[in-house]
Chains A and B, each alone.
Chain A
Amino acid sequence: MTLSRRTFVKVGGAALALPLLGSRAFAQLEKVKIGFIYVGSINDNGYNYAHNQGRIYVEEQLGDKVETVFVENVPEGPDCERVLRELAQQGCQLIFATSFGFGDSVVKVAAQFPDIAFEHATGYMNGPNIGLYNARFYEGRAVCGTIAGHMSKTGKAGYIGSFPIPEVVMGINALALSGRRINPEFTVKPVYISTWNDPAKEADAARAMIDQGIDIVAQHTDGPAALQVAAERGIVGGFGQGADMSAFAPDTQLTAIIDHWGPHYLASAEAVLAGTWTPGNTWEGLKEDVVQMGPYGAKVPEDVRAAADQVKNGQIDGSFHIFTGPIKDNTGTERVAAGVVMTDAELLSMDWYVEGVEQPA
């Protein structure tokens, strides 16, 4: 492009207007455009599917006051920066980065677009225009662990993890702690497979654990592969993760942890519309309906359902917290004193396993 006088005036005018735009940050809006980026496919039946359901929920609730765009299968790395920048340049006023590994990119891009509200899921780096939001999935794990502790015959559960990040470690620990409240001999064997989405590897990991004596399988990866193997091998059961996966293993899914991001997304969208958005740091769970439990499987007996309901309701009314001391780690050292509840900061940096969890390599 040659720089004619006309374009020079246009560009100059735009540059002059920039500070004005800046001063109008977070003003009231007629309509909000929201961008979502997902680390996997919206058809994964799990984590990313759930985020996309949240997006659809916002569209349904706000109708023509909202426009949403989403980009799926965004790798955690430099590509993410590019996608975030594109969404920002497309005119999104609110952008949700829905995976832990997007954090660094969000921090960089948010600094370049101070007028845009960014929200990063399950992350820890906030900023003047970066809000954090997370869900207390471990509350769901505590319900699952209660069922597992009652129903496991071998007293051993397997847990397929993606990466040993606090989010996953916390879930493993919650399953072990709640299982051991029922059966003090209950153990959890974690196997990390270094990927969120490799169904064949997830299935083989489940086979490897079932061949070596576990009869309950839980997973913190994105799909139902492990649950299908549980059904194929006829073990006691497993749990849906992220979404209700009962379609894949109707008799084997004992319950499911359902991510229900819709209410959070709606609240943020409304705040941006009203001009009242501020970078928050929310961590909501069963009580706020951001984590939901799926229906109990037919196999789960009445008394176990009652015990699971009790744990669920205790977490909703605040009378029960799974990370209440005394808690020993898996080397026998006491980490949390009797009666003390772990703080959110401690939970979000958890890098040790509780008693009953076999140390993964």
Chain B
Amino acid sequence: MELALAILITVVGASTPILIAALGELVVEKAGVLNLGVEGMMLIGAIAGFVVQFHTGNPYLALLCGAAAGTAASLIFGFLTLSLSANQTATGLALTIFGTGFSALAGSSYSARPVTLMQPLFPAEFYGNPIGRVIFGYSFPVYFSFVMVVAIWYFLHKTRAGLILRAVGENDQSAHSIGYSVIGVRYLAVMFGGAMAGIAGACFPLLLTPQWAERMTAGRGWIAVALVVFASWKPFRLLGGAYLFGLVMTTELYAKAGGGPLSAVPSELWAALPYIATVVVLVLISLRRDASTNAPACLGKPFLPAN
């Protein structure tokens, strides 16, 4: 029992940054933009968050600056793809490469320096016992990620602004012809995605491992991008998907460390599991009668007004 709770706590830590980054990308894609620069924006958010935490020791300010740095990076992408109609796939990949290099450069003088981890959000009385620890023992970003799942679902499906955003993603020409600024909406979505990726990146030094290391996100930005497809652009399914991925990544380590029957599973298979799961889910979705993957119809297409 105690071990199960311990595993759960580690799963939450592993899943949170993926969930936050994927939520941002979900909103971006719902507006019809494919930003493959999540990994790069996360790294820029990570170094910004680290530097601020190192100098001020204020993790909330660090998260805020991570968000600001991620937004700034996303604006480069936005300018190229929205204002100049550059190819989104190529620009997104370039943003990841840029983010990797830029964060390494910015962090080069911070290598041998630890920071302090972000403290839990609730006072210590709340999590004296194991159950309390599992519910109340996390720091702010964990609760933030849950709130954002609900908030994004509500925004997309229950508000007028959300409807406009979806319209821009499903049929940009129609949205344009009835007077909505397609480019303006997409800019806001891309900036939101950048802010979320920045926060997700800042979670690495603040929640997981209190140091700066080059490429410390180690591919989780790509998992976030894959998760959006995995979740067929639905926030609650995204929550489930992020925790499934987190569970698989963590169970592997606990199984290997623990002995038990699961430890006989070869590590190569563990490493492949999230991807096998993605393929299985995609197959299941395409098997359904209506065969709709729910992908926004204008995803990845640059907007050029017809008249």
Instruction: Give the interface of A toward B (CB within 8 A).
Output: 40-41, 43-45, 49, 73, 158, 189, 191-195, 197-205, 207-209, 211-212, 214, 223-225, 228-229, 232, 247-249, 358, 360-361
Contact yes or no, B213 A223, CB < 8 A: yes
CB distance from B165 to the nearest CB of A (A): 32
Whether the pair B218, A201 counts as a contact (CB closer than 8 A) is: yes
Residues of the B chain whose Cβ atoms lie less than 8 Å from the Cβ of A207 = 6, 10, 253
Are B266 and A191 in contact, with the CB atoms below 8 A?
A: no
Q: Say whether B211 faces chain A, with CB atoms less than 8 Å apart.
A: yes
Check A361 against B264 for contact (C-beta < 8 Å): yes
Q: Which residues of A contact B14 (CB under 8 A)?
A: 200, 204
User: Is B218 a contact of A49 with CB atoms below 8 Å?
Assistant: no
Which B residues have a C-beta under 8 Å from some C-beta of A?
3, 6-7, 10, 13-14, 104, 107-108, 111-114, 117, 204, 208-211, 213-218, 220, 249-250, 253-259, 263-268, 271
Q: Determine the distance from Cα of A214 to Cα of B214 in the docked complex, in whole angstroms.
A: 29
> Do B214 and A41 touch (CB < 8 A)?
yes
Task: With CB as the reference atom, state the residue of chain B lying closest to A41.
Answer: B214
Nearest CB in chain B: distance from A200 CB, A = 4
B210 to chain A, nearest CB (A): 6
Contact B208 A200 (CB under 8 A): yes
Known: A204-B249, A208-B256. 10 other contacts (CB 8 A): A194-B267, A199-B218, A200-B217, A203-B209, A208-B250, A224-B211, A249-B114, A360-B256, A360-B263, A361-B267
In the assembled complex, how far is the CB of residue A188 from the closest CB belonging to chain B, in whole angstroms? 12
A211 to B14, CA, bound (A): 16
Closest CB in chain B relative to A203 CB, distance in Å: 4
Q: Which residues of B contact A202 (CB under 8 A)?
A: 209
Instruction: Specify the chain A residue showing the minimal Cβ separation from B10.
Output: A207
Q: Assuming the A-B contacts A191-B257, A204-B10, A361-B256, are A43 and B250 also in contact, with contact meaning beta carbons closer than 8 angstroms in the complex?
A: no
- Give min CB distance, B221 to chain A, whole Å: 12
Cβ-defined partner of B211 (8 Å) among A192, A199, A204: A199
The number of A-B residue pairs with CB atoms under 8 Å apart is: 128
Shortest distance in angstroms between B245's beta carbon and chain A's nearest beta carbon? Answer: 13
Question: For residue A248, which residues in chain B have a CB less than 8 angstroms away from its CB?
Answer: 112, 114, 211
User: What are 9 sample pairs from A and B whose C-beta atoms fall under 8 A apart?
Assistant: A41-B213, A44-B213, A44-B214, A191-B256, A208-B250, A212-B3, A232-B117, A247-B114, A358-B259
- List chain A residues, Cβ under 8 A from B10: 204, 207-208, 211
B residues in contact with A44, CB < 8 Å: 111, 213-214
- Given A200-B209, A202-B209, A224-B211, the answer on whether A212 and B250 have CB atoms closer than 8 Å is no
Contacts of B13 in A (CB 8 A): 204
Q: Which residues of B contact A195 (CB under 8 A)?
A: 218
Bound-state Cα–Cα, A193 to B113, Å: 24
From A45, A158, A228, A229, B112 is in contact (CB under 8 Å) with A45
Bound Cα distance from A14 to B162, whole angstroms: 69
Known interface pairs A191-B257, A207-B10, A247-B112. Does A73 touch B211 (Cβ–Cβ under 8 Å)?
no
Quote the shortest CB–CB distance from B68 to chain A (angstroms). Answer: 23
| Complex partner residue of B271 from A194, A200, A229, A232, CB under 8 angstroms | A194
Taken together as a complex, chains A and B put the C-alpha atoms of A247 and B112 apart, in Å, by 7
Which residues of B have CB within 8 Å of A223?
211, 213
Cβ-neighbour of B257 out of A40, A205, A249 (below 8 A): A205
